[in-house]
């Protein structure tokens, strides 16, 4: 029966209140009915993760569309806003000051679908503090809970094919990183900045509407003891060091995509070509994300991430020396593939470092901690750029941070495996 299939998990309570010894009979009946409703709803999904099927893949579609509207807009497309604000709307502000708008978005992945409202409000902003508040703080705040749920629910439906599933989900970020910059490049001269951002809002409205209809969980909701933070997860040294590696990586990972259009313009490239470099990077990133799923399922996520994150660090060192169209395109393509593999798999190790019942908190804590690097990374690069007048020093800073994070990943891999070789 259903009671025999109900999973009893340590340190958590199902989303209902048990009747106490002195409770009235009516209250006890209500509690029993609540419990029966929960088990009836999720009994059809009892057992292990299905690793496929119409429902599972529809959830992946929903998660991909959600990623398109969160990382694809908030993160992958920020370069077009950075360039436009420096050139037109906030021309009196320094690059590092403008970069705070983009960097503040990432850490606050803790809210709901007000993302669409904030997108429309961004079109009405005219001053720096308005953009920092709406496009920076609240866009990140409202996109957070959507992204967190979209990533965490993957582990409900996939186990053996989790790498492939995460790779497909992360393609949404690449699609957003292609669609939004190309749309912005073509729409801003025709309809202006305001209507361009409004079009972005309508695109999100359609995508998130489909996502809300398709997304679903397989396991019953639980009330986890300890609230939003599970400090016991940090008793695992591999998880702790992995969180630190996330901070180090994000200190430098987005420096090149953020300043790529500006640096291309600085060496004499046209504005239109500079815009398309972002789309080229994100298109190649999509290939990297798909490849990441295949690699992770066969050799393990950490084994896939370490060499390609190292390649991203090396390319960050090389980027300031690219001064021709061919060189800029080559660096953009290779960087897109390398960074795409990491971004696609970054939550997979955190998912594996504990029980599936607590995967949401582990992933959320990792993303929040790692986002500290994003918060200060690109503004720091902007400060270095302003003081040195070039991009070589920011490239050294960002590349060094990424390479340091690779060394930490090697430590995490050894702690997980307990040896030098093996799938991890």
pTM (global) more than 0.95? no
Residue holding tokens 């504005």? Answer: 271
The per-residue DSSP string of 96-159 comes to HHHHHHHHHHTT-----TTHHHHHHHHTT--SHHHHIIIIIIIHHHHHHHHHHHHHHTHHHH-S
Beta-carbon contacts of residue 221 (< 8 Å; ≥ 6 apart): 14, 15, 38
Per-residue pLDDT, 44: 46
pLDDT tens for 375-385 read 888 888 888 98
Q: What are φ and ψ of residue 14, in 5° steps?
A: -65, 160
Q: Which residues pair with 224 in a beta bridge?
A: 12
d(CA 138, CA 118): 7
Residue range(s) in the chain whose domain bears CATH number 1.20.1250.20: 48-417
| Segments of the chain with pLDDT less than 50 | 1-46, 96, 98-112
Per-residue pLDDT, 94: 53
| Contact status, residue 248 vs residue 408, Cβ threshold 8 Å | yes
Q: The domain 48-417 is classified under which CATH number: 3.40.190.10, 1.20.1250.20, 3.30.70.260, 2.40.50.140?
A: 1.20.1250.20
d(CA 162, CA 72): 21
Residue holding tokens 């999100």? Answer: 204
Per-residue pLDDT, 246: 93
């Amino acid at each position: 029966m259903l009671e025999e299939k109900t999973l009893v998990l340590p340190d958590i309570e199902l989303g209902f209140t048990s009747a106490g010894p002195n409770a009235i009979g009516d209250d006890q009946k209500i509690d029993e009915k609540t419990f029966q409703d929960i088990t009836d709803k999720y009994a059809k999904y009892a057992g292990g993760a299905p690793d496929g099927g119409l429902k599972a893949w529809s959830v992946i579609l929903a998660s991909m569309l959600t990623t398109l509207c969160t990382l694809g807009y908030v993160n992958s497309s920020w370069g077009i806003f950075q360039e436009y604000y420096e050139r037109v709307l906030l021309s009196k502000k320094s690059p590092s000051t403008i970069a705070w708008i983009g960097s503040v978005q990432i850490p606050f992945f803790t809210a709901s679908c007000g993302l669409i409202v904030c997108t429309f409000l961004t079109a009405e902003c005219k001053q720096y503090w308005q953009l920092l508040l709406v496009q920076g703080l609240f866009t990140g705040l409202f996109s957070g809970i959507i992204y967190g749920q979209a990533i965490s629910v993957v582990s409900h439906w996939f186990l053996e094919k989790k790498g492939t599933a995460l790779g497909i989900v992360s393609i949404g970020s690449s699609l957003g990183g292609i669609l939004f910059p190309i749309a912005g490049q073509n729409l801003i001269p025709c309809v202006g900045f305001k209507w361009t951002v409004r079009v972005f809002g309508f695109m999100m409205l359609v995508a998130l509407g489909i996502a809300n209809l398709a997304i679903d969980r397989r396991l019953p909701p639980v009330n986890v003891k300890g609230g939003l933070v599970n400090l016991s997860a940090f008793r695992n040294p591999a998880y702790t060091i992995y969180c630190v590696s996330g901070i180090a990586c994000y200190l430098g990972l987005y420096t090149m995509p953020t300043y790529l259009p500006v640096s291309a313009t600085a060496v004499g490239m046209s504005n239109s070509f500079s815009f398309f470099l972002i789309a080229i990077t994100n298109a190649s990133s999509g290939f990297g994300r798909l490849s990441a799923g295949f690699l992770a399922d066969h050799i393990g996520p950490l084994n896939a991430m370490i060499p390609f994150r190292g390649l991203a660090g090396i390319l960050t060192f090389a980027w300031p020396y690219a001064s021709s169209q061919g060189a800029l395109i080559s660096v953009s393509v290779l960087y897109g593939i390398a960074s795409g593999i990491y971004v696609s798999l970054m939550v997979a190790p955190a998912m594996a470092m504990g029980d599936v019942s607590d995967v949401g908190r582990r992933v959320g804590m990792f993303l929040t901690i790692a986002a500290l690097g994003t918060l200060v990374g690109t503004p720091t690069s902007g400060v270095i750029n302003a003081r040195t007048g070039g991009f070589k020093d920011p490239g050294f800073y960002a590349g060094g941070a990424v390479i340091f994070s690779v060394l930490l990943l090697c430590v995490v891999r050894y702690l997980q495996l307990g040896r030098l070789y093996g799938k991890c």
